[in-house]
């Protein structure tokens, strides 16, 4: 299997040897062309954005921590100059642009990027059920969904999900808060504290000895056998994807507020840690729809779990697993420990994504320490993969090649780079301390 694949795709040799790589997507085309090729669905993003606004009064009521933002779950963005200086010194480069941290690590309720797609999908499902039962109308105030009558109603239904941890937290916490029965199927790599937290919130956790794909498969099977059960399918869900995509519009407002212009002369670079692909894919999709050719999106994956890279580079998407290349899929980056990519995301990224960068696990902890020391911010190891995107873009031949291909030489001085911090604020202090003291090399 491996030899056949490498004969056909010799550029995957480095990937199969577990070397860090920067894969430039050869299919990337100008936005209008790419959007046409994939049937970019702007109306679906509109719909998700509108739905989240409608649900804001309910969110505010059920999760009082969202009161300050009126029930809108959004994360801060912060310029991190000291971190930028530190990275430049350590990796010996000089970036003319600015570096910002998008702190989904601190999103309300779930403490990770999964607060976007996961919560959106649960809300949408609750809306569908309530409307079908004639209990909710289009123009109702959705905060009524917090009433006991609805809790009893949702209590007749079940929601299930397979997860390495963070998606489980997001789905579990939201579903339980609305009164659903919720079962989270957790892969072996899921951290104990996440299981404990979920159980404390009222979710049922089923543990598997196997990896993420198996947990999803088992969850899907269990759910399909139960007519009252709904499965949140991380490998296939368009709802999750669209929930994530709304982030782009929120980001535009934030950048506007900071007087940060994005246009032809002021390019935007975004580095997104990638697991199965849904979260980074949805956000990149939204970003391309907003900023078109002026935004450049890159995914970052662990060298031991480069599933999106392998799926996109071969065009086989979910029909190939990193194990087919002899790669074990085992990594400290638990949110990214995925061997087989989403069925839909790679296809939607084919003409829009700049490329995929891979990172050795030990660096995750180095970045984490550096961020802690320079900015006094803590994000989880997986989220730190984002920094590798920025560093590789600035220090490699592939980065220079990308700049040349897109005629960006004269505009790099105006560039804004965003490292998308995908999780971390729910990590218990003791575990965070252990992370900060982990040296793999
Ligand atoms: C889930 C997750 C990702 C990646 O999202 P996918 O949809 O799996 O690609 C990145 N970072 C963290 C911390 C996550 O939990």
383 lines ligand 1 (CB under 6 A): yes
335 lines ligand 1 (CB under 6 A): yes
Residue 355 forms beta bridges with which residues?
24, 298
Distance CA 382, CA 365 (A): 9
Q: Which two tokens stand for residue 141?
A: 């105030």
- pLDDT value of position 1: 87
Atom of ligand 1 minimally distant from the CA of 308: 9
How many Å lie between the centroid of ligand 1 and the Cα of residue 26?
A: 24
How many Å lie between the centroid of ligand 1 and the Cα of residue 165?
A: 9
112 lines ligand 1 (CB under 6 A): yes
* Strand ranges across the sheet with 158-163: 204-207, 181-186, 158-163, 229-232
Which of 55, 69, 58 is closest to 147 using CA atoms?
A: 58
Atom of ligand 1 minimally distant from the CA of 272: 10
162 lines ligand 1 (CB under 6 A): no
Residue 270 forms beta bridges with which residues?
297, 418
- Please report the domains of the chain, with CATH numbers, ordered by start residue: 2-110+241-437 (3.40.50.1100), 114-237 (3.40.50.1100)
Distance CA 290, CA 418 (A): 15
Geometric angle at alpha carbon 295, from 291 and 300, rounded to 5°: 135
113 lines ligand 1 (CB under 6 A): yes
Atom of ligand 1 minimally distant from the CA of 117: 7
Atom of ligand 1 minimally distant from the CA of 166: 15
Per-residue pLDDT of the chain in tens (441 residues, 90 and over written 9)? 899 999 999 999 999 999 999 999 999 999 999 999 999 999 999 999 999 999 999 999 999 999 999 999 999 999 999 999 999 999 999 999 999 999 999 999 999 999 999 999 999 999 999 999 999 999 999 999 999 999 999 999 999 999 988 999 999 999 999 999 999 999 888 899 999 999 999 999 999 998 888 999 999 999 999 999 999 999 999 999 999 999 999 999 999 999 999 999 999 999 999 999 999 999 999 999 999 999 999 999 999 999 999 999 999 999 999 999 999 999 999 889 999 999 999 999 999 999 999 999 999 999 999 999 999 999 999 999 999 999 999 999 999 999 999 999 999 999 999 999 999 999 999 999 999 999 998
- pLDDT value of position 189: 81
275 lines ligand 1 (CB under 6 A): yes
Residue nearest to atom 11 of ligand 1 (CA): 422
- pLDDT value of position 6: 97
CB-based contact 391:365 (threshold 8 Å): no
Give residue 222's Cα distance to chain centre. Answer: 25
Residue nearest to atom 2 of ligand 1 (CA): 335
311 lines ligand 1 (CB under 6 A): no
189 lines ligand 1 (CB under 6 A): no
Q: How far is CA 413 from CA 94, 258, 420, in A?
A: 11, 18, 21
Atom of ligand 1 minimally distant from the CA of 282: 7
Per-residue pLDDT of 83-138, as tens digits, reads 999 999 999 999 999 999 999 999 999 999 999 999 999 999 999 999 999 999 99
Q: What is the DSSP letter of 192?
A: H
How many Å lie between the centroid of ligand 1 and the Cα of residue 279?
A: 6
pTM score: 0.97
Atom of ligand 1 minimally distant from the CA of 338: 8
Residue nearest to atom 8 of ligand 1 (CA): 275
278 lines ligand 1 (CB under 6 A): yes
71 lines ligand 1 (CB under 6 A): no
How many Å lie between the centroid of ligand 1 and the Cα of residue 234?
A: 10
Mean of pLDDT over the chain:
97
Atom of ligand 1 minimally distant from the CA of 424: 13
Q: What Rg do the C-alpha atoms of the chain give, in angstroms?
A: 21
Residue 101 forms beta bridges with which residues?
78, 419
Residue nearest to atom 1 of ligand 1 (CA): 335
Distance CA 423, CA 1 (A): 35
How many Å lie between the centroid of ligand 1 and the Cα of residue 314?
A: 22
274 lines ligand 1 (CB under 6 A): yes
CB-based contact 41:113 (threshold 8 Å): no
Distance CA 264, CA 245 (A): 22
168 lines ligand 1 (CB under 6 A): no
Q: Which residue has the tokens 């105006």?
A: 414
Residue 302 forms beta bridges with which residues?
359
């Amino acid at each position: 299997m491996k030899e056949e694949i490498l004969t056909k795709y010799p550029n995957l040799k480095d990937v199969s040897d577990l070397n860090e790589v920067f894969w430039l997507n050869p299919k990337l085309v100008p936005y209008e062309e790419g959007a046409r090729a994939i049937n970019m669905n702007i109306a679906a993003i509109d719909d998700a954005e509108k739905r989240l606004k409608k649900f804001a009064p309910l969110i505010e009521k059920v999760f009082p921590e969202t009161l300050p933002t009126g029930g809108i779950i959004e994360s801060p963005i912060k310029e991190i100059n000291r971190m930028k200086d530190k990275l430049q010194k350590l990796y010996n480069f000089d970036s003319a642009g600015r570096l910002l941290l998008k702190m989904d690590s601190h999103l309300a309720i779930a403490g990770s990027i999964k607060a976007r797609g996961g919560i959106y999908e649960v809300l949408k499902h609750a809306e569908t059920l309530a409307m079908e039962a004639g209990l909710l109308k289009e123009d109702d105030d959705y905060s009524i969904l917090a009433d006991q009558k609805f809790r009893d109603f949702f209590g007749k239904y079940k929601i299930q999900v397979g997860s390495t941890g963070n998606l489980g937290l997001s789905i579990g916490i939201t579903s339980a808060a609305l009164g659903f029965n919720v079962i989270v199927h957790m892969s072996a790599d899921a951290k104990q504290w996440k299981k404990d937290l979920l159980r404390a919130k009222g979710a049922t956790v089923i543990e598997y000895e196997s990896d993420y794909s198996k947990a999803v498969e088992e969850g899907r099977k269990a759910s399909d056998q139960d007519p009252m059960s709904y499965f949140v399918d991380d490998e296939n869900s368009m709802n999750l994807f669209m929930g994530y995509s709304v982030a782009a519009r929120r980001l535009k407002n934030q950048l506007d507020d900071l007087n940060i212009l994005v246009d032809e002369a002021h390019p935007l670079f975004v580095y997104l840690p990638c697991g199965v692909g849904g979260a980074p894919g949805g956000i990149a999709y939204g970003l391309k729809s907003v900023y078109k050719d002026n935004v450049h999106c890159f995914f970052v994956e662990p060298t031991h779990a480069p599933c999106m890279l392998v799926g996109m580079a071969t065009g086989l998407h979910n029909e190939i697993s990193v194990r087919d290349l002899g790669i074990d899929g085992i990594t400290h980056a638990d949110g990214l420990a995925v061997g087989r990519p989403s069925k839909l995301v790679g296809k939607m990224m084919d003409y829009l994504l700049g490329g995929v960068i891979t990172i050795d696990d030990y660096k995750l902890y180095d970045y984490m320490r550096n961020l802690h020391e320079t900015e006094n911010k803590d994000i989880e190891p997986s989220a730190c993969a984002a920094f590798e995107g920025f560093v590789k873009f600035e220090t490699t031949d592939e980065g220079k090649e990308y700049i040349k291909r897109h005629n960006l030489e004269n505009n790099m001085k105006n560039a804004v780079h965003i490292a998308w911090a995908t999780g971390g604020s729910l990590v218990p202090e003791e575990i965070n301390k252990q992370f900060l003291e982990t040296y793999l090399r």
